[in-house]
Amino acid sequence: MKILAIDTSTKFLCLGLSDNTKVYEYKLEVSRLLSTVIIQTIKRTLDSLGWKVSDIDYFACGLGPGSFTGIRIGVATIKGLSWPLNKPVLSIATLDILAKNAQSPESYIMPAVDAKRSLIYTSVYKMQNKSLKRLTPYALLDKERFLKIIKEDSVILGDAVGLYKDDILKTKKKVTILDKDYWYPQVFHILELAKEKIKNKEFSNSINIKPIYLYPKECQIKVKS
């Protein structure tokens, strides 16, 4: 069983490959260069292992929320690779990937991703029966609302911490804030979640995967009459 997984919702291109025995990880800070490097990076990584795209059994894709352009490029890439081969797609929310960085069995876990415009992408998670469970919907919140829903003893991580750390600590005294090493998706967590979806038979196809934007009005395409 071979899996190819990507997440492109942040400034990083996260690329993972897995077979039954080994995991291969590649992470590259690309910023605005994503569209020019993603296909050649995937090809170069596959070539280094002696794999072909047709060897891949499952394609996994981070759906956001996050960078509007980055998500579109990532989803379009996975669609373009999986559709001609009629291979299943594993759709994974980026907040789910990020939450796994915490691995805190007793605490609430809150990813906090900078959504620009003084807004934050977030959700609340907790470990239940050795599995990470999402307790609230994916949300786009202003700072005041985000600070209000933080529970004591929460673990908070994500690039929004760099903007709002002082406000968080003023509002809640018993929180743990993780440092920059935990602010972005980790490749092995994408693959881990992909394998869970395979085990649970939670498959999508290239036609019905849709990004998680949470900015509905800004994401509508208006056609002039």
- Please indicate, yes or no, if residue 52 is contained in any of the structural domains: yes
CB atoms within 10 A of CB 21: 5
7 lies in the same domain as 87: yes
Q: Rounded distance, CA 179 to CA 157, Å?
A: 7
- Whether the per-residue pLDDT at 162 is higher than 80: the answer is yes
49 lies in the same domain as 148: no
Question: What is the pLDDT, as a whole number, of residue 105?
Answer: 82
- Whether the per-residue pLDDT at 225 is higher than 80: the answer is no
Question: What is the pLDDT, as a whole number, of residue 222?
Answer: 53
191 lies in the same domain as 83: yes
Strand runs labelled E in the chain: 3-7, 12-18, 23-29, 58-62, 89-92, 108-114, 119-122, 125-128, 131-134, 139-142, 154-157, 176-177
43 lies in the same domain as 88: yes
- Across the range 145-172, mean pLDDT stands at 94
CATH code of the domain containing 63: 3.30.420.40
Question: What is the pLDDT, as a whole number, of residue 218?
Answer: 54
- Whether the per-residue pLDDT at 175 is higher than 80: the answer is yes
* 223 compared with 140, residue with greater pLDDT: 140
Span 99-112, pLDDT tens digits: 999 988 889 999 99
Residue that the structure tokens 């994408």 belong to: 190
Span 2-15, pLDDT tens digits: 999 999 999 999 99
Q: Rounded distance, CA 110 to CA 122, Å?
A: 6
Q: Which domain holds residue 63?
A: 3-94+185-199
Q: Name every residue whose Cβ is closer than 8 Å to that of residue 163 and which is 6 or more positions away in sequence.
A: 114
- Whether the per-residue pLDDT at 23 is higher than 60: the answer is yes
Span 48-62, pLDDT tens digits: 999 999 999 999 999
79 lies in the same domain as 109: no
CB atoms within 10 A of CB 209: 17
Give the neighbor-by-neighbor strand order of the sheet with 3-7. Answer: 23-29, 12-18, 3-7, 58-62, 89-92
Distance of CA 222 to the CA centre of its chain: 28
79 lies in the same domain as 158: no
Mean model confidence pLDDT for the chain = 93
- Whether the per-residue pLDDT at 37 is higher than 80: the answer is yes
Span 178-223, pLDDT tens digits: 999 999 999 999 999 999 999 999 999 888 899 999 986 654 445 4
48 lies in the same domain as 119: no
Cα 154–Cα 155–Cα 160 angle in degrees, nearest 5: 115
